[in-house]
Amino acid sequence: MSELIANMTTTNTSQASQAHFESILEQRTSIGRYDASAQLDEEMVNELVRLACLAPSAFNLQNWAFVAVHSNAAKQRLYPLAFEQPQVLDAAVTYIVSGRMQGYKELNTTLQASVDAKIISEGVQKTWVEMASQTHQESDQARRDEAIRSASLAAMSLMVAAQEKGLASGAMGGFDAQAVKAEFALEEDSLPVILITVGVAGEGNWPQKVRKPLAQVLRTL
Ligand SMILES: Cc1cc2nc3c(=O)[nH]c(=O)nc-3n(C[C@H](O)[C@H](O)[C@H](O)COP(=O)(O)O)c2cc1C
């Protein structure tokens, strides 16, 4: 059986290389220089977030929130809070991706849609609500970790979705989170985790940078 799987893998790999298959992850690069004349319509701005929300989250908490900084006026407000990084002005849109620290409090309602769709039972809904409450009620660290995990997965999903649509993207941690929270009136329990710029790449961007060899980052047991 393992021989069969090994053979299948070999066949798939050689088929893939014949087709010059590149994963979307191999195509994505971090864009800092955008074509400032390229715009995105609101439909696309919304669609990228809809796709980002297909990211998984613990108990399907969906404890994330997005602000799409799309208008010139909003970009001007974000620019100084992101240390005047020019991509905030030049990208078609910058998403402020936040994690919600109190998401567990509305988990029962959040899960009701999956109960109504007969995907999970009321028993699962109840158990998950209890488990999430137990974990999050007493621990600020747990609430914070979960907010960062969920927002990060959503942010990466957003970048992959953008790539799939033929757009370019970039992640930015260089911003003043407290100032962004105040300026954009984020919810009290929102933790701004990362900015994601999306648009059309301009000239002068680096190609994807070199990653560490697998042996340095992977242990298979
Ligand atoms: C958490 C995080 C924070 C980042 N912050 C910034 C930033 O503030 N400004 C910037 O130009 N790039 C930022 N980057 C982009 C990284 O420099 C980039 O992803 C890395 O160099 C790898 O580039 P590559 O994906 O194109 O190979 C950030 C990326 C991540 C994931």
Going from the Cα of 85 to the center of ligand 1, the distance in angstroms, rounded, reads 12
Domain coordinates in residue numbering, the chain: 23-202
Going from the Cα of 216 to the center of ligand 1, the distance in angstroms, rounded, reads 21
Tell me what pLDDT residue 4 has: 38
The answer to whether residue 41 scores a pLDDT higher than 50 is yes
Going from the Cα of 174 to the center of ligand 1, the distance in angstroms, rounded, reads 9
- Rounded to an integer, what distance in angstroms lies between the CA atom of residue 40 and that of residue 47? 11
Going from the Cα of 170 to the center of ligand 1, the distance in angstroms, rounded, reads 7
Going from the Cα of 187 to the center of ligand 1, the distance in angstroms, rounded, reads 26
Long-range contact pairs involving 208-213 (C-beta distance under 8 Å, separation at least 24): 208/26, 208/28, 208/29, 208/30, 209/30
- The residue whose CA has the least distance to atom 13 of ligand 1 is 172
Burial 102-120 (b: 16+ CB within 10 A, else e): ebbbebeebbeeebeeeeb
**Structure token pair of residue 10:** 């070999």
- The residue whose CA has the least distance to atom 9 of ligand 1 is 172
- What does DSSP say about strands 64-69 and 93-100: parallel, antiparallel, or unpaired? antiparallel
Going from the Cα of 10 to the center of ligand 1, the distance in angstroms, rounded, reads 34
The answer to whether residue 30 scores a pLDDT higher than 50 is yes
Q: Is 174 in the pocket of ligand 1 (CB under 6 A)?
A: yes
If pLDDT is split at 50, 70 and 90, which confidence band does 21 have? low
State whether residue 207 is helix, strand or coil.
coil
- The residue whose CA has the least distance to atom 3 of ligand 1 is 173
User: What secondary structure, in 3-state letters, does 18-49 show?
Assistant: HCCCCCHHHHCCECCCECCCCCCCHHHHHHHH
The answer to whether residue 167 scores a pLDDT higher than 80 is yes
Place domain 23-202 in its CATH homologous superfamily: NADH Oxidase (3.40.109.10)
Q: Is 30 in the pocket of ligand 1 (CB under 6 A)?
A: yes
- Quick: pLDDT tens for 78-130: 999 999 999 999 999 999 999 999 999 999 999 999 999 999 999 999 999 99
Q: Is 171 in the pocket of ligand 1 (CB under 6 A)?
A: yes
Angle at which helices 122-137 and 107-116 cross, to 10°: 160
Mean pLDDT of 162-175: 98
**Structure token pair of residue 145:** 């970790």
Q: Assess contact for 144 and 63: CB atoms under 8 A.
A: no
The answer to whether residue 154 scores a pLDDT higher than 80 is yes
